[in-house]
């Protein structure tokens, strides 16, 4: 293998730049020519591909976002789109790919590999932490800390006014961000898609809590089955039936995707990036380079996207215990 290309796809996450940097520099260190594809599968289809050098990735490790930009491509879902992408890659003689992204990225990479056979290794880049085959995804730690910082600030004002705050965090269909910033932020409740919330129980406890605590923070994962934070707040407000209580909603949104990556995300991104290149050189393909139990491991794309990563049961117990 002489030429490889790297791209980022789907929602960006802090630490993707560290991962790109590691792919480029590991590739060069191992004697490869490395190319960068702009805007994920979109750029692959358009032939927006450039040669990368060691200096191309200077001064990016501390930056959020992705220097290669990202996109969610509809055209890559079509056989015609994928054929165009393949033609562009083969015109440049690209023999291996590193795909940095989440489950959508790996779904595309798997189909593409099975159709055209260009060896591909993925790196788990998403704030959601919902990828099987790695203990943490690149960007998750930064997103949790960003949300936590916001929750700490909200608590100051919540306490000053004795208010009940509903804070909605990202995570798509997974509750990892919600549960970690809920535990770290001392939330009274955390609502996650993985477990069914008994609203009656929440209302009863909130009424009780209000006697002993000046403020309450309820963290709501955006994918919760009961609805978004605004809707859940409405249901609870109706059941509490106390006009003296003030309820507020804060949706943190895309703030969770930006910002300077934490040390953990920079190191994880770097390890996974190096692992992806070394994996390609060792003949691995159709799999992801992740870190489990502090070891680099390769997991087939089929498992990464097909298996659900569960919340840790200790985290669920902690929420119950610590909110009394
Ligand atoms: O997958 C990352 C993520 O930030 C999710 O947490 C969120 O649901 C989604 O992407 C938002 O996507 P977009 O930026 O396309 O609105």
Look at ligand 1, atom 15, and give the residue with the nearest C-alpha.
11
Residues linked to residue 97 through DSSP beta bridges, in sequence order: 5, 120
29-52: average pLDDT: 98
The answer to whether residue 233 scores a pLDDT higher than 90 is yes
> Rounded distance, CA 147 to CA 169, Å?
7
Q: 284: annotated binding-site residue?
A: no
State residue 211's pLDDT score: 62
| DSSP at 74 | S
Tokens of 96: 């291996």
The pLDDT-based confidence of 201 (bands split at 50, 70, 90) is: confident
Q: Return the H-helix or E-strand segment holding 211.
A: helix 199-212
The answer to whether residue 108 scores a pLDDT higher than 90 is yes
State residue 213's pLDDT score: 62
Please enumerate in sequence order all residues whose Cβ is within 8 A of that of 41, keeping only pairs 6 or more positions apart, or say none: 7, 9, 71, 73, 75, 76, 81, 85, 108
Residue 162 known to be catalytic: no
Please enumerate in sequence order all residues whose Cβ is within 8 A of that of 66, keeping only pairs 6 or more positions apart, or say none: 8, 12, 16, 17, 20, 100
State residue 206's pLDDT score: 83
253-267: average pLDDT: 98
State residue 245's pLDDT score: 85
The pLDDT-based confidence of 322 (bands split at 50, 70, 90) is: confident
10-27: average pLDDT: 98
State residue 59's pLDDT score: 98
253-274: average pLDDT: 98
* CB 109 within 8 Å of CB 44: no
Tokens of 186: 């001392």
Widest pairwise Cα distance in the chain: 70
Domain boundaries, the chain: 3-139+261-306, 143-258
User: What pTM value is reported for the model?
Assistant: 0.97
DSSP-derived secondary structure for 259-312: SPPPHHHHHHHHHHHHHHHHHHHTT--SEEEEEETTEEEEEEHHHHHHSPPPPP
**Using CA of residue 226, residue 311, residue 135, residue 289, what is the dihedral sign?**
negative
pLDDT digits (tens, 9 = 90+) for 286-310: 999 999 999 999 999 999 999 999 9
The answer to whether residue 235 scores a pLDDT higher than 60 is yes
Look at ligand 1, atom 3, and give the residue with the nearest C-alpha.
11
Poorest-pLDDT segment among 38-52, 173-187, 230-244: 230-244
The pLDDT-based confidence of 243 (bands split at 50, 70, 90) is: confident
Q: Where are the beta strands (DSSP E) in 55-179?
A: 96-101, 120-124, 163-169
Tokens of 18: 């560290």
Q: Does this chain's domain 3-139+261-306 share its CATH topology with 143-258?
A: yes
The answer to whether residue 209 scores a pLDDT higher than 80 is no
Whether domain 3-139+261-306 has CATH 3.50.50.60: the reply is: no
CATH of domain 143-258: 3.40.50.460
Q: 128, 130, 224, 265: which is the annotated catalytic residue?
A: 128
Q: Ligand 1 pocket check: which of 70, 169, 172, 253 to mutate, most ligand atoms within 8 Å of Cβ?
A: 172
pLDDT digits (tens, 9 = 90+) for 57-74: 999 999 999 999 999 999
State residue 29's pLDDT score: 98
Q: How far is the CA of 141 from the centre of ligand 1 (A)?
A: 16
Average pLDDT over the chain, rounded to whole? 95
Own/partner pairs, 317-321, CB within 8 angstroms, 24+ separation:
318/183, 319/179, 319/182, 319/183, 319/187, 319/189, 319/190
CA dihedral 131, 135, 138, 139 (to 10 degrees): 90
State residue 204's pLDDT score: 86
214-231: average pLDDT: 93
Q: Return the H-helix or E-strand segment holding 21.
A: helix 16-29
Going by C-alpha positions, the residue among 176, 5, 170 that lies closest to residue 100 is: 5
Going by C-alpha positions, the residue among 306, 289, 299, 296 that lies closest to residue 98 is: 289
Q: How far is the CA of 304 from the centre of ligand 1 (A)?
A: 18
Ligand 1 atom, smallest distance to 171 CA: 6
Name residues contacting ligand 1 (CB within 6 A). Answer: 11, 102, 126-128, 170-172, 222, 257
């Amino acid at each position: 293998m002489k030429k490889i290309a790297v791209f980022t796809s789907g929602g960006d996450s802090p630490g993707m730049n560290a991962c790109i940097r590691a792919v480029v520099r590991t590739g060069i260190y191992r004697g490869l020519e490395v190319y960068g594809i702009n805007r994920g599968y979109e750029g692959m289809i358009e032939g927006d591909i450039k040669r990368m050098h060691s200096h191309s990735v200077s001064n990016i490790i501390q930056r959020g976002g992705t220097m290669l930009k990202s996109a969610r491509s509809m055209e890559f879902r079509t056989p015609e789109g994928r054929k165009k992408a393949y033609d562009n890659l083969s015109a440049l003689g690209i023999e291996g790919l590193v795909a940095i992204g989440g489950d959508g990225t790996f779904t595309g990479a798997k189909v593409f590999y099975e159709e055209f056979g260009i060896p591909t290794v993925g790196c788990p880049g998403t704030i959601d932490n919902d990828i099987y085959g790695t203990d943490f995804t690149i960007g998750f730690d930064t997103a949790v800390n960003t949300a936590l910082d916001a929750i700490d600030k909200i608590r100051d004002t919540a306490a000053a006014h004795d208010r009940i705050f509903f804070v909605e965090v990202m995570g798509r269909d997974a509750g990892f961000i919600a549960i970690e910033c809920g535990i770290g932020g001392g939330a009274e409740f955390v609502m996650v898609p993985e477990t069914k919330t008994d609203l009656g129980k929440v209302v009863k406890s909130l009424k009780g809590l209000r006697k002993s605590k000046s403020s309450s923070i309820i963290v709501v994962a955006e994918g919760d089955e009961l609805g978004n934070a605004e809707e859940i707040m409405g249901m609870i407000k109706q059941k509490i039936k106390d006009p003296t209580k003030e309820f507020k909603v804060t949706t943190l949104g895309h703030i969770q995707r930006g910002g300077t990556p934490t040390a953990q995300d920079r190191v994880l991104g770097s390890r996974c990036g190096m692992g992806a290149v070394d994996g390609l050189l060792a003949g691995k393909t159709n799999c992801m380079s992740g870190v489990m139990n502090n070891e680099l491991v390769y997991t087939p794309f089929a498992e990464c996207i097909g298996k659900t990563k569960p919340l840790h049961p200790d985290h669920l117990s902690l929420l119950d215990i610590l909110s009394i």
